Amino acid sequence: MCGDFNMVEIDTDCTTASSLISSQEKCLWNEILDSLNCKDLWGFIGGHTLRYTFHSRSHRKAMSRLDRCYFSHVYALSLVSKMWFDSIILLSDHNPLLLSLFDSNWTASIRDRLHRIPLRLNHAWIRTSVFKAKVDILIQQVFASKLSPSLKWEALVVGMQGVIRDCGKYFSGVLKAAKAEAEQVILSLTEKVDMGCLLSERDYSHLCDAYRCLHFIENNAIHSAKVRARCMDVNDLHAISKGFYDFLRAKRAANTISSLQTEGKELRDWNSIADACSNHYKKLFAASYSTNDSWFFALHEALVYTPQCLDSRTAAACESSITEEEIFLALGSLKNGKAPGLDGLTKEFILAFWSSLKSLLVDVCNEIWRDQKMPFSFKQGKIKLIPKVELPKPIGDWRPISMMNIIYKIFAKIFALRLKPFINKLVHLPRLGLFTKDRFMMTFLSRKC
């Protein structure tokens, strides 16, 4: 496997001597790779999600490129194999590499303590018939399977990664073909005008359509760049400037944990840093009691003497099964535009396919409610560390933000909505604390609901 061939992606960008040489080298490399029977890895895994944009000093404008990776043999690896993720990690660090998969030490430079990041759903696809058709077929296959509701949901999550990958390849090809066609129309019609010919009404309409097509594609690329950069407050003119890309590089460097101080030692190895962070938050968020602890029984005995109790009608309502209306209300109260968890599913996706997914969601929620346990994969989350200070060193200098799966978010919201109306009547205000001065669970619930 060989990777990180930085090439000018569009031939029309070849306007300088160096870029023309790059274009010629591209043709030469294609001949060499064809003779070696090497194929483009991005075409196999959907590398449209890893397109890079850079500011060319020679061209004085923003340009796009792909860090290409080629493979010669696939053997029995599947599309979701960890091998592809490892290759992406190596390439994303811009490491030129030539390696053999038979080498026992080939994983030495891979950050194998990092979890796989799911493919990101582009919400613009939701309005397209291609995406809707693929999702509907997947939902029908899931419903036809003889599995429990929770396993059906997990099958949907796994299948959605394939749908996102296929749609990414398809829409990437459509946009590329549309851009090439629009540029060809503009070139031919402008040459006609330069020669002194008048455009007919039909030709003028085609020219306007071509410009609108290019405008749409460029705006979509700019919007996608701002979404990936988490920087939506930048206007479109600044989003294609050199300063914007310099800002993104600085932002990425600031958010990267290159060193960590723990127990008097400074860690710089990626795997050691990942292990230290994981162990820290496992201890921090782990349950500190079990049903056998004496204080746990003492807590239950104290609850017997609670001065106010729920009446039978309210208690029955709290213990009742989860309804479709509750799930829809919980979904509607979640914020828009939030990053997904490890399932890759967002609120916007669920609402777009609500009519097809609502029965499965009700079954999944009530299965968990009835069995009083949630599958481990539903409880897995992705923790993003946000630096609190300019130069963070120990683990306490980062603020953790948990990105949970959509099922977990729905459950948490349903519980909050059920507790909100009467929690302040049952528990005395000082006992509603969140372990922080002047902050109470009642205020927290009012904000969350």
With a cut of 70, say whether residue 37 has pLDDT above it. Answer: no
Task: Taking residues 332-360, report their average pLDDT.
Answer: 91
| Torsion (CA) 337, 338, 340, 346 in degrees, nearest 10 | -50
**129-143, 196-210, 256-270, 421-435: the lowest-pLDDT one:** 421-435
Residue that is written with structure tokens 């010669």 in the block = 72
Predicted pLDDT at 171: 86
Let me know: does 217 contact 179? Beta carbons within 8 Å: yes
Higher-confidence position of 297 and 153: 153
Backbone angle region of 5, left / alpha / beta, with phi > 0 → left and psi within -120 to 50 → alpha: beta
pTM of the model: 0.64
Nearest to 50 by CA among 78, 76, 84: 84
Q: How distant, in Å, are the alpha carbons of 178, 187, 418 from that of 14?
A: 20, 16, 62
Predicted pLDDT at 215: 82
pLDDT in tens, 117-131: 677 788 888 989 999
Task: Taking residues 413-422, report their average pLDDT.
Answer: 84
Q: How far apart are CA 336 and CA 331, in angstroms?
A: 10
| Torsion (CA) 428, 434, 440, 443 in degrees, nearest 10 | -130
Predicted pLDDT at 62: 53
- Name the band, by pLDDT with cuts 50, 70 and 90, for residue 2: very low
Which positions ≥6 away from 163 have C-beta within 8 Å?
131, 134, 135, 138
Terminal alpha carbon distance of the chain: 51
With a cut of 70, say whether residue 46 has pLDDT above it. Answer: no
Higher-confidence position of 380 and 410: 410
Q: How far apart are CA 282 and CA 267, in angstroms?
A: 19
Q: Return the top range by mean pLDDT from 313-317, 344-348, 430-434.
A: 344-348
Nearest to 22 by CA among 53, 51, 65, 61: 65
Predicted pLDDT at 109: 37
Task: Taking residues 67-87, report their average pLDDT.
Answer: 49
Nearest to 66 by CA among 94, 87, 98, 86: 94
> What's the mean per-residue pLDDT of the chain?
72
